[in-house]
Structure 1
């Protein structure tokens, strides 16, 4: 025995000395991942040749079988990730990167990690190997970095230190705690000393996802998937795709968005000029006069355009709301309304020209179902009391409808998408015009992407599931597979916007930050930052909307803060920080504040034309909590919008000339500040409390813009003195 051991020792030593075979994939700019071939463990993460500290776990793919693992009902907004079961996998080299493949608990994963120049694309499928069963699963991909001491990008301009024992996620908390949340931004970042890693869910690949950082898992992508043989386009599987790339750690989340815009410019192409959103301009124009005084460009309407509107370049944006419908009957009365009777051929109250029967049939074909397999009742708490509208004596009911254009019509008549086409999209109350030169200019999507249209609600309707374009999700109470209503809405949005853009027609939407806006924004040419403006000291919601829309126009519709002169100027000024047009309170307010609009609208338009950029390449010092945003570039000239959220103060704006591509800097105060002194690359300013300033750099039009602004502002202040 001792002799055998003596002979084996050299052999063991030789085996230990053999290399561990690994597969590596890297971007052109030096971000790389290394996978161990034998078990697909991630053994290395490096940025520009710098190996990052790992947390000691293998990383890679993990799955949770929600029913099999007994985890239904054990997840809420604040839950940490489940440990999951690691996929028993191997990694191998491929001509474009690495292929990881394996399975566990009858769930199979195959993924390609490919280098596509400046980023890594991770694409693959989670497959159900029990082909006759529906499955509810969570899929994790874990990058096992130890980011202690680094920073998590919370929102634009806000980087949060990473501390041990904390979970980091930017999540939407859905209305009525209906289900666990979803990431509210498609981009998540970790920024350390000399390194930055971005993880991205592509905005044109809608999935129910969360990006988090927490130990012991690291940076992770988390998907909720329902797997079923019922989905025709991907039977028993859920395709996924996400991206990894490096960013400049000095600018964190700002830098990550900048890179994403440059990598995928087609998602952010600007096709329409900046301006304000108004409804029913036709009924208001006799009092308002020239719409240019208010910056009116987008008119929300159900009517045709006309010669006067066209002469002012005001766009007629046709109102549609395909993801829900207003019906004057409770669910138990809908089948009777669908019968072919003389009574049911009367015009429906909210049918936009359709009769009661047409309305009822499209609802039967397209209504969202609840967990009981019946039409989701607008009166139930699962939807929310605001889905019953009207008065107690004359109520009507707001039903959620699946607008997927591919849905069949088993009850006869039309589906919801077909009804929208017939009575809303290309008609006015179902009627054509004989003046085709005045067709509507574009499309306005109301209530898109948020709670008001029930985007977070899940549909249990199985006869709709064969037609889905995006993977199913699941109910955390029952484990049943579901259609997330927001994804059905995006199917219509994608189809309709594609048609509109082919016709040269712009689109706009009444959207809100959070919820499904990351997947809605690519299909909007103008973003309604929300129907109603709400003051936020840190502009958190508006920051998100601006980041998701990039340089596309933004506007509010209603703004109650403009109703009186006391706050009007400060509100008009404040929204310059993200060049979001302020909206209006009512016609009387607009008329009385005409000179105030005339003072600020040219600045809004100049900022919008210059174009917001996520990285300012400038810093503000002095003043508590002040920050700066950049519009434009060195070639066209620059604007810097500075927000002072605190008391009146003096502060200094300092430029990074190399990053901005500047050889000189000529500063002009446009509004909101006074120049105290300036140096070659900096300017010292005095600013009022809770105010936004705009400073131009190398802009030939700056002095004229400032002079016109001051003239109209003086008119406004004189008219409101003492009021």
Structure 2
């Protein structure tokens, strides 16, 4: 019995020793310049002190636990050390698993003697919202009732973690997976990092967040600061108020129209999914059936170089020459069947070209025209088009018939879009021996596979096979669905398989079998080369698909270069897809930022998406939870000063109700986020265009100024936006309370001088500003909205601000219809408003009177009936310019 007990003790000692095998075991004194110090003993910290005073009972320990039992784990070695890094204490290292079999472990950092400090935006906006615990990579640590420390995971530490209350304090846990199939640097290794730093107790979590931005500024640095809403699935020419938008998800079509209206165009890609349409209209009943039907498609031989225009068949029994022809069969009128191919000409050609082909018909209805033809759209290098050049065939029933057309281009041709076409009629038509080439050189045929002899397997479906993710159950990650998850569903249910693909840019790739990332690069490279004025790339659904998958496909492991983790349900080791997505987006930034192109992402409402904000220049939140202030705080906290777009829909989010729309704008204003409603731009403007005019000028000024997490003010829920000429504050009452005075600390205004004025940036009315000791108090006026936007700045700068606002309204009015809105009267008004008057009140008033006269003429120059939304938008802008001038006159004449 004694021998067995001794063996148990020896085993426990061996486990404890293996857990803490450190390369460096000597204690080391560490000190940060701000007064935080500690003694590092391997991975542990003791004597954690502030300004030389030890924090009683506070220490930090690192242990390795078995996720199966929660007990200490055997078979792992810890190699980590503390250092002073960027003004914080940083622990960096790795956990190593012995052996070569897959393994799992939890690396646990316990900060003893501390507590979490959690609340909600509605009750205590300075503390971390409880629902965001582990959603953001940091927590405040409360010591003796004061939030004096923070524990965080650096943004460059790509690993899966969570925060929670620990046995004697706060616990940070890393879920570590180990595999021998990883690249050498990660083979049986799990890198990790955390930092401990000092915070200002009175600002609670906001201080922790503020310092996190200062410690790691690069991923939060804005690449662009354009402000305005988002729209898609519509034409730029259909927007009655383009001045309230900036981001057009579309193009390159509409690029010029968008530019005339001040919009940036961002062509769409959904990079990490692939949609396969199955034949028939019955969805697979199981995963197994879905894969059988997919494999049948993937293994089938398909016509090389041609794509179906709805449908076609290869007929091996009918041919003009060779072994087969292309058969287009229309069984009902109104459909479009046949095949299409794009022919690219490099260099562009200017000489006449000939189109020649043969067709055979059986009971083809209709007249002889372009609906039964070889149909060619000519794309000029200039961007212009020559549409509908057709070599037509006779309808009815006939044997092989030749058709020929000579096209004489008016300028250099770079592309021909070629269609073997049967539409708006019924019958069967066979096509063969298609030739397009120089009219004077019959030996040259630019059409690939014009005799329809060559077949191949579908390269796109092989692409799916190569790059589809695999879940921990060993199945391809695929959704069986009858729709595309759009805001407007299909009229007829679809029959789709939607696969999740791995976008990791380090996956093997070559010309024959390019990776997902390589395909995306090729697409955007071409678009940006052909259309250099595109603003950037729009990547859809980045928080779905690959991001939310644990990819257990082993042949992908060697490309993964972040920490592996495991599935808590079955302990299978896998590569977190979120890091494949973030690395892909970072690669897009690296590739296109030198060209001035921004990466605009659709992140959705996923509260696990913090890493995506680091690699998004324009974070867009589709279906944002705009009525949940914890969520709107999350969007801003993840983005810091980047433009944040709330991308909602009238038909899905109650935005056809005025009270909901008012909340939408007010909640967006609180954090300087940019609201918009997608495709139904005219319906939105008709219902509540007045609210867009009311709120968007102030919201845009907030977004340009940039948010800071520490408000340096009190009075309910207060946010601060310090701009170069003024500081903006947004304010709303706490839950169940009333809106009181906004009490602003001197530190918030120290660079603005002493003669200050507060103005409501929405109504343009002056807000009384009185001194209470060192604090300035701005008192809200009766009838103030639920959210107030207060601008505090030098009195001497008010004229510049309001004249600038008025001028912007005049410029906006001239953009409503693009160039067609630019009347001489609007140009004259904008020019008058660009001049700076003298400093005296009399000179300012005279200047405002002259500008008002110019605006009256501009208002009269806007053509359109009262119910014309475009005319209404332009007139409202001119009226807002006049309101800004009237507010300026009141301010300067009332000044002491």
TM-score > 0.5 by shorter chain: yes
CA contact 1:617–1:660 (8 Å) conserved in 2: no
Alignment of 1:55-454 (within 5 A): 59-66=60-67, 70-71=68-69, 82=70, 84-85=71-72, 105-130=74-99, 132-147=100-115, 151-152=117-118, 158=124, 183-192=134-143, 196-216=148-168, 218-232=169-183, 233-280=185-232, 283-289=234-240, 291-292=242-243, 294=244, 296-304=245-253, 306-329=255-278, 330-339=290-299, 341-342=301-302, 347=307, 357-379=458-480, 394-408=494-508, 413-422=513-522, 424-427=523-526, 435-438=530-533, 440-449=534-543, 452-453=544-545
CA contact 2:713–2:742 (8 Å) conserved in 1: yes
CA contact 1:674–1:686 (8 Å) conserved in 2: no
Equivalent residue number for residue 890 of structure 2: none
After TM superposition, give the deviation of residue 45 of structure 1 in Å: 1.3
**Residue deviations 1:595-615, cap 9 Å, x none?**
432332221221112111111
What is the CA–CA distance in structure 2 between the aligned matches of 1:393 and 1:697, rounded to whole Å?
A: 55
Q: Establish whether residue 42 from structure 1 lines up as the match of residue 141 from structure 2.
A: no
Q: Establish whether residue 679 from structure 1 lines up as the match of residue 740 from structure 2.
A: no
Distance of aligned partners of 1:136 and 1:539 in 2 relative to their CA distance in 1, 3 Å threshold: same
- Higher-Rg structure is 2
After TM superposition, give the deviation of residue 548 of structure 1 in Å: 1.0
What is the CA–CA distance in structure 2 between the aligned matches of 1:190 and 1:410, rounded to whole Å?
A: 50
What is the CA–CA distance in structure 1 between the aligned matches of 2:569 and 2:539, rounded to whole Å?
A: 32
What is the CA–CA distance in structure 2 between the aligned matches of 1:503 and 1:650, rounded to whole Å?
A: 47
Equivalent residue number for residue 611 of structure 1: 706
CA contact 1:169–1:212 (8 Å) conserved in 2: no
CA contact 1:673–1:693 (8 Å) conserved in 2: no
SS at 1:679 equivalent: strand
SS at 1:698 equivalent: strand
Q: Establish whether residue 544 from structure 1 lines up as the match of residue 627 from structure 2.
A: no
What is the CA–CA distance in structure 1 between the aligned matches of 2:760 and 2:231, rounded to whole Å?
A: 34
For structure 1, which segment, 407-416 or 240-249, has the greater mean C-alpha deviation from structure 2 after superposition? 407-416
After TM superposition, give the deviation of residue 715 of structure 1 in Å: 7.4
Equivalent residue number for residue 636 of structure 1: 725
TM-score, length-scaled by structure 2: 0.63
Distance of aligned partners of 1:640 and 1:364 in 2 relative to their CA distance in 1, 3 Å threshold: same
Distance of aligned partners of 1:471 and 1:684 in 2 relative to their CA distance in 1, 3 Å threshold: same
After TM superposition, give the deviation of residue 485 of structure 1 in Å: 2.0
CA contact 1:363–1:416 (8 Å) conserved in 2: no
Unaligned runs of 5+ in 1: 1-19, 72-81, 86-103, 163-167, 173-182, 621-625, 717-723
Distance of aligned partners of 1:349 and 1:533 in 2 relative to their CA distance in 1, 3 Å threshold: farther
What is the CA–CA distance in structure 2 between the aligned matches of 1:567 and 1:393, rounded to whole Å?
A: 31
Distance of aligned partners of 1:562 and 1:385 in 2 relative to their CA distance in 1, 3 Å threshold: closer
After TM superposition, give the deviation of residue 618 of structure 1 in Å: 0.3
Distance of aligned partners of 1:443 and 1:597 in 2 relative to their CA distance in 1, 3 Å threshold: same
Aligned length: 617
Distance of aligned partners of 1:443 and 1:234 in 2 relative to their CA distance in 1, 3 Å threshold: same
After TM superposition, give the deviation of residue 373 of structure 1 in Å: 2.7
After TM superposition, give the deviation of residue 645 of structure 1 in Å: 6.0
Q: Establish whether residue 653 from structure 1 lines up as the match of residue 742 from structure 2.
A: yes
After TM superposition, give the deviation of residue 395 of structure 1 in Å: 1.3
Distance of aligned partners of 1:374 and 1:649 in 2 relative to their CA distance in 1, 3 Å threshold: closer
**Residue deviations 1:55-106, cap 9 Å, x none?**
6xx742111233xxx43xxxxxxxxxx4x42xxxxxxxxxxxxxxxxxx612
**Residue deviations 1:659-703, cap 9 Å, x none?**
542553422222369767431211221355871111111153465
Distance of aligned partners of 1:349 and 1:188 in 2 relative to their CA distance in 1, 3 Å threshold: farther
Distance of aligned partners of 1:547 and 1:156 in 2 relative to their CA distance in 1, 3 Å threshold: farther
CA RMSD of the aligned region, Å? 3.7
Q: Establish whether residue 23 from structure 1 lines up as the match of residue 28 from structure 2.
A: yes
What is the CA–CA distance in structure 2 between the aligned matches of 1:257 and 1:686, rounded to whole Å?
A: 32
After TM superposition, give the deviation of residue 288 of structure 1 in Å: 2.3
What is the CA–CA distance in structure 2 between the aligned matches of 1:48 and 1:36, rounded to whole Å?
A: 20
Equivalent residue number for residue 461 of structure 1: 553
**Residue deviations 1:577-626, cap 9 Å, x none?**
11111102612234424443233222122111211111110000xxxxx3
After TM superposition, give the deviation of residue 332 of structure 1 in Å: 2.1
CA contact 1:61–1:140 (8 Å) conserved in 2: yes
After TM superposition, give the deviation of residue 361 of structure 1 in Å: 1.0
What is the CA–CA distance in structure 2 between the aligned matches of 1:390 and 1:484, rounded to whole Å?
A: 33
Equivalent residue number for residue 667 of structure 1: 758
1:553 aligns with one of 629, 643, 647 = 643
2:691 aligns with one of 577, 596, 614 = 596
After TM superposition, give the deviation of residue 647 of structure 1 in Å: 7.4
After TM superposition, give the deviation of residue 21 of structure 1 in Å: 8.1
What is the CA–CA distance in structure 2 between the aligned matches of 1:616 and 1:146, rounded to whole Å?
A: 25
**Residue deviations 1:31-61, cap 9 Å, x none?**
1222457xx6533211222321216xx7421
Unaligned runs of 5+ in 2: 1-24, 279-289, 311-339, 343-455, 810-874, 881-896
TM-score, length-scaled by structure 1: 0.76
**Residue deviations 1:402-441, cap 9 Å, x none?**
011222369963332233334x43346xxx97x5444x32
**Residue deviations 1:112-137, cap 9 Å, x none?**
2111241122110100111x211011
SS at 1:108 equivalent: strand
Equivalent residue number for residue 99 of structure 1: none
SS at 2:779 equivalent: strand
After TM superposition, give the deviation of residue 258 of structure 1 in Å: 1.2
Q: Establish whether residue 495 from structure 1 lines up as the match of residue 463 from structure 2.
A: no
